[in-house]
């Protein structure tokens, strides 16, 4: 019988450990699958977006967290309620050379992180927890009901040369946070399961060097007799040395050994490891920012989880920097909805807000700052229309509040270098927010 561990290995690395062989040799999967055909195509431009393509760490939550209540853009209107806790005191921060006010934890992120941090005021038009899959499908704006993380993964996989196109979910806490790809539900892979699969004594990472030598030996005849001088030089530039493989193996094992639970810290370690192994273009994690805090006396959960959530983002950026991945990874978020903001409905808990949700992005493709804004809607507050050229909130903006969600999705694809015809094929509504792009 196939064990859970074997199933995880197969899903991570493919048949015949194709993914491990690419990790151990440095050679593209296409070359290992069909050497003669691939040789005819080398070197190959994987996609037109190759210079802009990024790995994506996609933070999503079905809890409807209150992150939207503590970010830049919500401190100008005195009718918006903020926790009085000292840990969430209003403080100043600089984004893109402009001063903003936010809750203290955001302002304490390193300036090199703030220099790539963008906040997006959006409307998900949904107040229901189980409809998170619909929000990830941009509330009907995607072709064939594909989820945004799956669209990104499908478009980025050829550019990044990853082992698989399907995204991986590390942090889903409820069924509604699970991902689909081409209409098929994807398994959830907790961080501890990933560790158990890869670090046991007979695990695949322990045998990278023998796997490298075996794979290169099988290719030797084709390499020697079937490749031109230029093709050999190209292959030689990709091949990983034995010393490099030894370092890769030890580094990855050390990282995975640090995983002790399925917390956001462990998810981060697992996500960075999967990116280093080039398993998938998109990895989903869950960063808590309050939970479902209807009855949150003095906003205690919001206070604690905002502090820990922002700290987790800082830790993620530190790990990416240490791994040399800062310019290769974009971090982005999208949650099911935000929380109510008015003083009348927030002091000891916040309700569902279908009109306002805040996402963040951290990546070189975006201008740091604030996209859109918030204003009075009915008895509470909601996202305002956006001017696509500037990214600023404007009552006369060409992107309506209802269109901000689809426009966020289109802008994510544009930031990754996806061509406009492909963007509008994948996301049939909305507009690229040019003012958000670096």
117-126 pLDDT tens trace: 999 999 999 9
Q: What average pLDDT does the structure give for the chain?
A: 91
Over 70: is that where the pLDDT of 355 sits?
A: yes
Q: Once rounded to an integer, what is the mean pLDDT over residues 259-272?
A: 96
Q: Which two tokens stand for residue 420?
A: 């406009």
Q: Output phi, psi for 42, to 5 deg.
A: -85, 145
Cis preceding linkage at 213, omega within 30: no
Name the fold adopted by 53-190+263-436.
Alkaline Phosphatase, subunit A (3.40.720)
Over 90: is that where the pLDDT of 252 sits?
A: no
d(CA 414, CA 420): 7
Mention every residue, 6+ apart, whose C-beta is less than 8 A from residue 219: 27, 31, 32, 35
Q: What are the structural domain ranges in the chain?
A: 23-44+193-261, 53-190+263-436
Q: For tokens 């929000």, what's the residue?
A: 135
Q: For tokens 């304490």, what's the residue?
A: 108
Q: How does pLDDT run across 128-175, given as a tens digit for each residue?
A: 999 999 999 999 999 999 999 999 999 998 888 787 889 999 999 998
- The confidence band for 45, taking pLDDT boundaries of 50, 70 and 90, is very low
Of 120, 180, 163, nearest to 27 by C-alpha is 163
Q: What is the widest separation between alpha-carbon atoms in the chain?
A: 77
pTM of the predicted protein model? 0.90
First to last CA, the chain: 51
- The confidence band for 11, taking pLDDT boundaries of 50, 70 and 90, is low
Burial class (CB in 10 A: 0-12, 13-18, 19+), 230: exposed
Asked if residue 272 lies in contact with residue 320, where contact means CB atoms within 8 angstroms, the answer is yes
- The confidence band for 1, taking pLDDT boundaries of 50, 70 and 90, is very low
Q: For tokens 């290769």, what's the residue?
A: 328
Comparing 71-75, 146-150, 171-175, 429-433, the range with the smallest average pLDDT is: 171-175
- The confidence band for 281, taking pLDDT boundaries of 50, 70 and 90, is very high
Asked if residue 69 lies in contact with residue 82, where contact means CB atoms within 8 angstroms, the answer is yes
């Amino acid at each position: 019988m196939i064990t859970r561990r074997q199933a995880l290995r197969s899903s991570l690395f493919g048949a015949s450990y194709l993914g491990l062989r690419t990790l151990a040799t440095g050679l593209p999967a296409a070359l290992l699958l069909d050497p003669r055909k691939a040789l005819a195509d080398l070197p190959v431009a994987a996609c037109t977006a190759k210079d802009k393509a990024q790995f994506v760490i996609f933070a999503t939550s079905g809890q409807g967290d209150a992150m939207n209540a503590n970010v830049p853009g919500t401190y100008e209107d005195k009718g918006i309620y903020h926790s009085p806790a000292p840990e969430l005191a209003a403080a100043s921060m600089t984004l893109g050379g402009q001063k903003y006010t936010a809750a203290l934890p955001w302002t304490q992120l390193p300036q090199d992180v703030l220099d790539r941090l963008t906040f997006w005021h959006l409307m998900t038009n949904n107040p229901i927890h189980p409809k998170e899959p619909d929000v990830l499908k941009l509330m009907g704006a995607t072709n064939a009901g594909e989820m945004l993380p799956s669209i990104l993964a499908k478009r980025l996989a050829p550019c990044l040369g990853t082992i698989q196109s399907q995204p991986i979910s590390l942090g889903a806490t409820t069924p509604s946070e699970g991902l689909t790809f081409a209409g098929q539900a994807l398994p959830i892979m907790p961080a501890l399961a990933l560790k158990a699969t890869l670090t046991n004594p007979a695990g695949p990472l322990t045998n990278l060097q023998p796997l490298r030598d075996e794979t290169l030996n099988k290719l030797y005849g084709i390499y020697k007799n079937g490749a031109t001088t230029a093709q050999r030089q190209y292959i030689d530039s990709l091949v990983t040395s034995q010393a490099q493989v030894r370092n890769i193996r030890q580094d990855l094992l050390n990282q995975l050994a640090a995983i002790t639970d399925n917390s956001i810290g462990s998810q981060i370690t697992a996500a960075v490891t999967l990116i280093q192994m080039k398993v998938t273009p998109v990895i989903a994690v869950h960063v808590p920012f309050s939970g479902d805090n209807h009855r949150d006396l003095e906003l205690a959960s919001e206070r604690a989880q905002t502090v820990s959530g922002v700290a987790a983002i800082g830790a993620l950026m530190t790990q990416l920097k240490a791994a040399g991945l800062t310019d290769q990874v974009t971090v982005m978020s999208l949650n099911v909805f935000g929380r109510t903001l008015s003083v009348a409905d927030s002091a000891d808990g916040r309700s569902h807000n279908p009109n306002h949700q805040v996402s963040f992005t951290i990546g070189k493709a975006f201008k740091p700052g604030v996209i859109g804004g918030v204003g009075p809607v009915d008895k509470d507050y909601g996202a305002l229309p956006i001017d696509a050229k500037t990214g600023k909130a404007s009552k006369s903006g060409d992107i309506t509040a209802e269109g901000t969600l689809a426009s966020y999705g289109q802008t994510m694809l544009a930031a990754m270098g996806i061509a406009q015809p492909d963007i509008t094929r994948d996301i049939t509504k909305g507009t690229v927010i040019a003012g958000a792009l670096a």
